[in-house]
Amino acid sequence: MSALTISDTLATTTDSLQLIELDHQGILGIEGPDAVKFLQGQVTCDIRDLASPVSRAGAQCTPKGRMLSSFRVLQSQPETLLLRADTAMLEAIQKDLGKYIVFSKARLSNRSEHYRLLGITGAGAAKYVEEISGQTFSGNDAWLKYRQSFFIQLDEQRVECWLASEDAVQLTSQLGTRTTKAPANSWTLATIRAGFGEVYPETRELFTPQSLNYQLVNAINFRKGCYTGQEIVARLHYKATLKRHMYRVTFRLPDGFSLPTPGAGIVDAQGKTLGELVVAAVDRNNTAEALVVVPDNQLEHLYLAQHPEIQLTRLDLPYLIPLENDH
C-alpha cells in the first residue's frame, strides 16, 4: 500500500452516503466444470455455500496455516466463480492457485478489465441499492444481480458494487444521484471499523486466519473438509488457546506524517515487539485508525515501533473477541 499523509486524503465521517472508487481492487475468474471443487480444496471458506446467492470472505493458506491471501468470492454461474482481492495481490493469487488448477477442469483469468468496482458506505447504503435495483438483500454477505452486475451487502452500511463494463457508465450515474464521492481511504476506514483485516504483499505468510479474527467474521468453515493448511487452522481452533487477536486502535497523526504500512511493528513502552499492524487509514481531527494483531493480555501500552512517541488507544470492534478466561 502506498503511504498516505493527513494532508493527502481525509475520510468523511458524516452520515451521508459515500460512493468510493475501488480501483485498488480487482477480480479473478475461476471457470470450468471443476471450478467449485477446485477452490473448495484451497481456501478457508466453504465454496459450496455459494450455490445460494451469498458471497464469502476467505483466505488461502500455506501448508503451515499462514495466510497467503484474502478475498471475497461469489458464484456468478454454476461453473463460474468471481474472486475479488486487492490489485497488488492478484498476480500472486493467480500464481498460487495456478500451481494446483492444472489438475482440474477449470481455468483462471484476470477479469478486472470487465468490471468497475465501487463501494457505498453510510447509513442506509444497503437500502439505497435495493431502491435502485428493485430487489431486496436477504442479509449480510448476500448479493443481488442487476443486469450483468453484482451488489454485495457486507452490512447495512457497506455495499460492494461489481459493475460489469456494459453497465458501468449508467449504474455509476445512478449510484451517484444521492451519494458523495469519497477517496479510497474512506473505504479502508469503514473496513477497519467493521473489524475486517486483509492480507497485503507486505504481510503474506505473516498471519494465521485466526489472528485476523476470520473465525469471527464467517471467513472460516471448520466443517468443510480438507484444504491447504486446514490441519493447522483446525488445530488452532479445537486444541489450542488463542492468545493473540486483531484489535482496532486509534492514534494521533501529525501533519505530514505518513501512515504506517501493513506489517509495521507494534511495541510496548520498553520497545519490545508485541505484534504487527494489519492496515491503517486516516480519520478526521488529525487521527488515524488501524487494525493490529497483538497479545490479548497486552492492550494498554501499545506504540508504533518506528514512532515510539505515538501511543495506540484501543477502540471497540463490532464483535466480541472470546478470551481465555471467558466461559
- pLDDT one-digit tens code per residue, 140-195: 999 999 999 999 999 999 999 999 999 999 999 999 999 999 999 999 999 999 99
Exposed / middle / buried, residue 47 (Cβ in 10 Å: 0-12, 13-18, 19+): buried
Exposed / middle / buried, residue 114 (Cβ in 10 Å: 0-12, 13-18, 19+): middle
- pLDDT one-digit tens code per residue, 237-247: 888 788 999 99
- Give backbone dihedrals phi and psi of 190, rounded to 5 degrees, phi first: -65, -35
pLDDT at residue 15, as a whole number: 57
Q: Which three cell numbers stand for residue 273?
A: 515487539
Give the residue-averaged pLDDT of 268-290.
95
pLDDT at residue 324, as a whole number: 63
- pLDDT one-digit tens code per residue, 32-91: 999 999 999 999 999 999 999 999 999 999 999 999 999 999 999 999 999 999 999 999
DSSP letter string, 50-119: GGSSB-EEEEEE-TTS-EEEEEEEEEEETTEEEEEEEHHHHHHHHHHHHHHHTTSS-EEEE-GGGEEEEE
pLDDT at residue 267, as a whole number: 98
Contact 194, 185 (CB under 8 A): no
Q: Which three cell numbers stand for residue 228?
A: 491447504
Question: Residue 256: which pLDDT band, with cuts at 50, 70 and 90?
Answer: confident
- pLDDT one-digit tens code per residue, 281-317: 999 878 999 999 999 999 999 999 999 999 999 999 9
Contact 316, 266 (CB under 8 A): no
